[in-house]
Amino acid sequence: MPWQRKDLLGLEELTAEEIELVLRTAEVFADVFERPLKKFPTLRGRTVVNLFYEPSTRTRTSFELAGKWLSADVINISSSSSSAAKGESLADTARTLEALGADAVVIRHSAAGAPHLLARTVKIPVLNAGDGAHEHPSQGLLDLFTIRQHKGKIAGLTVTIVGDLLHSRVARSDIWGLTKLGARVRVTGPATLVPPTFASLGVEVYRDLRPAVEGADVVIVLRLQRERQAGGLIPSLEEYAALFGLDAEKMSWLKPDALVMHPGPANLGVEITEEAALDPRSAIRDQVRNGVAVRMALLYLLVGGGEKDVPAVA
Ligand code: NCD
């Protein structure tokens, strides 16, 4: 089945087959870090614009590397340097970029739905790099890729997501992706940050950390989103760290071969200690590296699909 969508807006609307196609395509690029020459000619002559209205290190750099390693010209625009600061609307910015010959726009925005608005406004592909607390599909896909790389499968695994689910677009994309591919998902965190309504997404809600992580194959720790009011929903950071922060002692509750993940950037000492983040069971570094391969796959499928400069994928 070839890729048929114009945009990548979220994992909620993708089928399991479409997710599989992205993951299989990413396999082709997965060894890119081992190559002395990292460039594929696939997107030569194409232009990808990164339009970031929120701070970002890894997602923006990762999309930038992905575009560059596919030989595209990559332009980075941040909110402070864009005409948004002069009052230009998002739709108008997008139409301008399209008129200037952009072949795709990667957008991060604090408003949920901003990429969807853009996708309706322009004819070029729009890739959601995080919209409010809604979705972060490329992160969800790289998490799936990393889990499968380590565990050899997704179906049948038990995956526990810990922390500030309320404000987390990563958690929502992970939940859609994991459940579509047949994993069992548990979620846990303070009741104010993990409302019981999450059960409607097909996950099991746990109140306490220990039973939630015991027996889990993968534990995904989320950043406490202090800039999104999470701070006001917990009594104190110390109490949060004591109850839900992953540290050496709590790591002993996990299976010996459990995988520990975090989308980054981590508040070390709050949701995870540095020691736990560097534990041999941690796949955090692999997540960062796999992010580039997954984003290369996405740009290949959405912008350069059909060309034969990389090994064919079924
Ligand atoms: C996440 C994000 O921005 O949603 N980070 C990322 O893209 N790697 C997670 C977060 O900020 O907590």
Q: Whose CA is nearest to atom 12 of ligand 1?
A: 223
Q: How far is CA 238 from the centre of its chain?
A: 27
Contact 282, 260 (CB under 8 A): yes
Tokens 């087959």: give the residue: 17
CB of residue 287 inside a 6 A radius of ligand 1: no
- Residue 136 CB less than 6 A away from ligand 1: yes
Q: Return the minimum-mean-pLDDT range out of 8-22, 128-142, 231-245, 276-290.
A: 231-245
Average model confidence (pLDDT) across the chain: 94
CA of 226 to the centre of ligand 1 (A): 12
Alpha-carbon distance of 292 to 67, in angstroms, equals: 9
Residue 273 has pLDDT above 90, yes or no: yes
Looking at residue 227, what is its pLDDT? 76
Q: Name the more confident of 203 and 57.
A: 203
Residue of 61, 63, 110, 139 to test ligand 1 pocket, by largest number of atoms within 8 Å of CB: 139
Mean pLDDT of 57-79: 95
Whole-number pLDDT of residue 307 = 54
E-strand spans in 204-285?
204-206, 218-221, 259-261
pLDDT one-digit tens code per residue, 169-201: 999 999 999 999 999 999 999 999 999 999 999
**Burial of 91 by CB count in 10 Å (0-12 exposed, 13-18 middle, 19+ buried)?**
middle
Closest atom of ligand 1 to 222 CA is 12
Residue whose pair of structure tokens reads 């959405």 in the numeric block: 302
Q: What is the pLDDT of residue 269?
A: 96
pLDDT of residue 305 exceeding 70: no
Give the residue, 70 or 232, on which the prediction is more confident.
70
Q: What pLDDT sits at residue 232?
A: 85
Given 3-state DSSP classes, what are the helix, strand and coil percentages for the chain, each rounded to the nearest 5? 45, 15, 40
139 lines ligand 1 (CB under 6 A): yes
Please tell me the predicted confidence (pLDDT) of residue 80.
Answer: 74
Q: For the purposes of burial, counting CB atoms within 10 Å of the CB of 267, is it exposed (0-12), middle (13-18) or buried (19 or more)?
A: middle
> Is the confidence at residue 12, as pLDDT, over 90?
yes
Q: What is the mean pLDDT of residues 144-168?
A: 98
CA of 219 to the centre of ligand 1 (A): 16
Residue 98 sits at φ, ψ, to 5 deg, of -65, -45
Q: Which residue has the higher pLDDT, 218 or 37?
A: 218
**pLDDT the model gives residue 313:** 59
**How would residue 237 be classed by pLDDT, with cut points 50, 70 and 90?**
very high
pLDDT band at 309 (very low <50, low <70, confident <90, very high): low
| Residue range 78-95: mean pLDDT, rounded | 80
Lowest mean pLDDT among 31-40, 216-225, 257-266: 31-40
Residue 22 has pLDDT above 90, yes or no: yes
Q: Hey, whose CA ends up nearest to atom 7 of ligand 1?
A: 59
Task: Could you list the beta-strand ranges (E) of the chain.
Answer: 47-52, 73-78, 104-109, 126-131, 158-162, 184-188, 204-206, 218-221, 259-261
Alpha-helical (H) ranges within 105-207 are 114-121, 137-151, 169-180
Is the pLDDT at 306 greater than 80? The verdict is no
pLDDT at 314 over 60: no
Instruction: Return the pLDDT at 79.
Output: 78
